[in-house]
C-alpha cells in the first residue's frame, strides 16, 4: 500500500499596528490539552463486533468419492453448505454484567456474533433485541466477571462546538481514537421520522458503526451510525444517534425484546413563517397536522387536519419532528395533554390516549420477489430479490431498488455505483422499479437536479443528479 505524505507550508505575518491593538491578556480558551487520559480510561469498554452468516449455496459443487485420486479436492470445493459472509463494526459495554450496544445494521441477519475486546479476548454474543428504525441493537455476553463499561449521558445537554471523541474499529483497525467538535444538532438525513442526529466532524469510517461518541467527561453522547460521503470515506460529515434515543430504545429491547412505541394517529409537517402568520402565531414553531387516521387517538380526541400542535405533554414543540420522538417514548395507553390551535380560534387542549404503534416488518420475506427492470436517469435498476440481497450483502431493513448498470454519459456517472440501493427520490420512498421510474420522470419535468438518497454498504448518501440520460 502506497502512503502519501503532505507537508503544509505556512507563512506567519506580523503587523505592529495590530499587535498594539491586542489586549494585554488573552481570554482563556476552554479546550483539552490532551486526550490521553480519556482514551486510556474508555478504550477497554469499546469492542470489535464481527458477524458471520451462512449463505445458501446457489451453485453445484463437485464431490468426489472416497478413495478417488481427486478426493483431496473435496475440502477445496467445500461441503456444499454455502459460504460465510462476515461483517465488521464497533460496540460498547454499558454494564459490568456484559450488556453491549451497537448498530442494528452491524449485526442484522447474522448467525454468529462475536465480541472482541482490545486485549484480544473474544466472546460469542447473544442478540437481545434490535430496532431497524433507530438502528440500535442490544447484545449480551457472559464473561464470568465484571467488565469495564461506560456511562450514558443526557444528549440534550450536547452543545454545538463542544469537543467530542470517537473510539472504534474503522476498516478493522481496532481501538482507533478520533476527535472533533459537534457541528450541528437535530439533523434529519432522510432515513425516517425518527432521525434526530448529532452531526460532528469526527473522522468516522466503515467499521466505526455502532461505536460510541464521548464528551469530555468520558460519557457517551451517542452511537456513531452514518456518514455522508461521495467517496465512502470520512469527509467530516458524521452522524450520531443521540444517547437519549439509544437508551430509550435499548431499555425497551432489554425489557421486551422489541420496541413498544406510542402512536398518535396523525401526520404532521413543519410550521413555516407564512403559516404562523396566517394563524397569528408569534413564532414558526409546532407541528401542523396534515392527516388524521380514522378512529386513531388524535381523531378520537377531536384533533383535525389543519390544527397546529404547540405542546405535547407540557413540552413545547420547537419543530415538527420533535413530536415523533415524544410520542414514541410515551407509555402505551396513557393519556397526554396536547395543546393546539385551530385557525381562527383560540388555543385549546385535548386529552389524547396514546396507543401502541403497529410496527412494519422491515425485511422482505424469503420468496417474495418483485419483478421487473427499468432504465431511468441513465441507470438500470432492478427489484431487490433475495438473491440480489445475498449477492450484494444488502440487509433486509434496506428497501428500494438496486442499481445494476450506469450509463457513462449520464448525470449519475461518477456519483452512483452498481450495488447502490436507491431508497428515495426527492425524499419520497421508492417502493418498486416502476415507482422509481415514475418518480424520476416526474421530478425531471421541473428541469432541476433530482435529489437521490442511496444506501451504500449500510450508509445513506444523498446525491443531486440531473435527470437526463
Active centre residues (catalytic)? 105, 135, 209
CA-based torsion, 226, 231, 236, 237: positive or negative = negative
Pairing of β 379-383 and β 373-376 = antiparallel
Read out DSSP for 333-402?
T-EEEEEEE-TTS--EEEEEE-EE--PPP-SPPTT-----EEEETTEEEEE--HHHHHHHT--TT--SEE
Helix (H) and strand (E) counts for the chain?
A: 10, 28
CB contact set of 440 (below 8 Å; sequence gap of 6+): 376, 377, 425, 450, 467
**Long-range contacts for 95-99 (Cβ within 8 Å, ≥24 apart)?**
95/147, 95/149, 96/146, 96/147, 96/149, 97/146, 97/147, 98/123, 98/140, 98/141, 98/142, 98/143, 98/147, 99/128, 99/138, 99/139, 99/140, 99/254
Name the DSSP letter for residue 257.
Answer: S
Q: CB of 328 within 8 A of CB of 357?
A: yes
User: What is the rounded CA–CA span in Å between residue 269 and residue 427?
Assistant: 14
Q: CB of 417 within 8 A of CB of 398?
A: no
CA-based torsion, 438, 440, 444, 450: positive or negative = positive
User: What is the rounded CA–CA span in Å between residue 308 and residue 345?
Assistant: 11
User: What is the rounded CA–CA span in Å between residue 106 and residue 458?
Assistant: 8
Amino acid at each position: 500500500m502506497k502512503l502519501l505524505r503532505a507537508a503544509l507550508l505556512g507563512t506567519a505575518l506580523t503587523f505592529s499596528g495590530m499587535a498594539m491593538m491586542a489586549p494585554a491578556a488573552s481570554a482563556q480558551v476552554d479546550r483539552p490539552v490532551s486526550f490521553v487520559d480519556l482514551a486510556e480510561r474508555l478504550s477497554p469498554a469499546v469492542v470489535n463486533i464481527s458477524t458471520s452468516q451462512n449463505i445458501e449455496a446457489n451453485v453445484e459443487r463437485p464431490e468426489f468419492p472416497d478413495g478417488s485420486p481427486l478426493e483431496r479436492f473435496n475440502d477445496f470445493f467445500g461441503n456444499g453448505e454455502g459460504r460465510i459472509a462476515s461483517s465488521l463494526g464497533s460496540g460498547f459495554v454499558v454494564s459490568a454484567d456484559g450488556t453491549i450496544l451497537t448498530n442494528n445494521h452491524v449485526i442484522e441477519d447474522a448467525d454468529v456474533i462475536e465480541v472482541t475486546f482490545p486485549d484480544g479476548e473474544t466472546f460469542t454474543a447473544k442478540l437481545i433485541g434490535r430496532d431497524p428504525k433507530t438502528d440500535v441493537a442490544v447484545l449480551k455476553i457472559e464473561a464470568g466477571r465484571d467488565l469495564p463499561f461506560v456511562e450514558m449521558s443526557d444528549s440534550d445537554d450536547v452543545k454545538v462546538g463542544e469537543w467530542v471523541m470517537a473510539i472504534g474499529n474503522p476498516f478493522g483497525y481496532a481501538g482507533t481514537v478520533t476527535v472533533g467538535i459537534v457541528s450541528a444538532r437535530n439533523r434529519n438525513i432522510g432515513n425516517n421520522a425518527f432521525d434526530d442526529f448529532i452531526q460532528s466532524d469526527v473522522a468516522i469510517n466503515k467499521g466505526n458503526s455502532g461505536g460510541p461518541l464521548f464528551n469530555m467527561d468520558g460519557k457517551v453522547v451517542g452511537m456513531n451510525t452514518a456518514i455522508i460521503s461521495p467517496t465512502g470515506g470520512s469527509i467530516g460529515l458524521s452522524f450520531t444517534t443521540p444517547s437519549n434515543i439509544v437508551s430509550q430504545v435499548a431499555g425497551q429491547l432489554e425489557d421486551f425484546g422489541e420496541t413498544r412505541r406510542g402512536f398518535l394517529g396523525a401526520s404532521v409537517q413543519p410550521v413555516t413563517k407564512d403559516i404562523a402568520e396566517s394563524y397569528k402565531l408569534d413564532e414558526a414553531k409546532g407541528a401542523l397536522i396534515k392527516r388524521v387516521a380514522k378512529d386513531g387517538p388524535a381523531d378520537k380526541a377531536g384533533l383535525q387536519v389543519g390544527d397546529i400542535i404547540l405542546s405535547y405533554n407540557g413540552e413545547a414543540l420547537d419543530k415538527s419532528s420533535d413530536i415523533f420522538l415524544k410520542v414514541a417514548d410515551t407509555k402505551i395507553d396513557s393519556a397526554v395533554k396536547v395543546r393546539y390551535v385551530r385557525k381562527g380560534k383560540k388555543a385549546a387542549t385535548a386529552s389524547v390516549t396514546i396507543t401502541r404503534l403497529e410496527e412494519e416488518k422491515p425485511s422482505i420475506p424469503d420468496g417474495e420477489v418483485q419483478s421487473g427492470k427499468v432504465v431511468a436517469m441513465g441507470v438500470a435498476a432492478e427489484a431487490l430479490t433475495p438473491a440480489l440481497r445475498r449477492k450484494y450483502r444488502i440487509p433486509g431493513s434496506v428497501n428500494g431498488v438496486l442499481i445494476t448498470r450506469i450509463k457513462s454519459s449520464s448525470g449519475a456517472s461518477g456519483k452512483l455505483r452498481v450495488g447502490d440501493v436507491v431508497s428515495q427520490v426527492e425524499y419520497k420512498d421508492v417502493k418498486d422499479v416502476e415507482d422509481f421510474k415514475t418518480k424520476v420522470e416526474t421530478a425531471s419535468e421541473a428541469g432541476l437536479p433530482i435529489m437521490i438518497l442511496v444506501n451504500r454498504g449500510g450508509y445513506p448518501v444523498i446525491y443531486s443528479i440531473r435527470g437526463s440520460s
